[in-house]
């Protein structure tokens, strides 16, 4: 039997708090989502001033990163390089930068998705959250 680490409630809160701190430090009004390895939403926070749509996009970025076990920006790059048929991939809906997997001991145990500022800034917030682990 394979044993692997999993996200706990405390882990999720620690990631969320650190991501919120990074966003606020930079004055970025975003939505932040954290999901488990199967893409199931565990935590969502829409900061004051964040656009409503960001609360839909952030969880999908997280889900894409978790299910693919890689940053969501990889999919964006594939599509931008001309492989538009990749848009037909089932279950992945936010193939945009800003979704980052949480990797521990080679296992994807979840992901963080952020939406509402530049994609690279979304990813910066997600990575700051993950670094809190």
3-state secondary structure the chain: CCCCCCCCHHHHHHHHHHHHHHHHHCCCCCEEEEEECCCCEEEEEECCCCCCCHHHHHHHHHHHHHHHCCCCHHHHHHHHCCCHHHHHCCCCCCCCCCEEEEEECCEEEEEEEEECCCHHHHHHHHHHHHHCC
Asked: is 9-131 a CATH 3.40.1160.10 domain? The reply is no
The pLDDT of residue 2 is 87
What does pLDDT average to in each consecutive run of 10 residues of the chain (133 residues)? Answer: 94 98 98 98 98 98 96 94 89 91 97 98 98 96
Predicted confidence at residue 86, as pLDDT, reads 82
pLDDT given at position 66: 97
What is the per-residue pLDDT for 51?
98
What is the model's pLDDT at position 46? 98
């Amino acid at each position: 039997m394979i044993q692997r680490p999993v996200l706990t409630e405390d882990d999720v809160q620690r990631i969320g708090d650190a991501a919120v701190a990074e966003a606020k430090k930079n004055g970025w009004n975003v939505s932040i989502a954290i999901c488990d390895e199967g893409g199931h939403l565990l935590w969502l926070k829409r900061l004051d001033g964040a656009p409503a749509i960001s609360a839909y996009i952030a969880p999908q970025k997280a889900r894409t990163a978790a299910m693919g076990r890689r940053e969501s920006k990889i999919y964006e790059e594939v599509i931008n390089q001309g492989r538009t048929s990749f848009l037909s991939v089932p279950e992945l809906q936010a193939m945009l930068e800003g979704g980052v997997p949480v990797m521990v001991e080679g296992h994807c145990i979840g992901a963080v998705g952020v939406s509402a500022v530049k994609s690279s800034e979304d990813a910066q917030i997600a990575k700051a959250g993950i670094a809190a682990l």
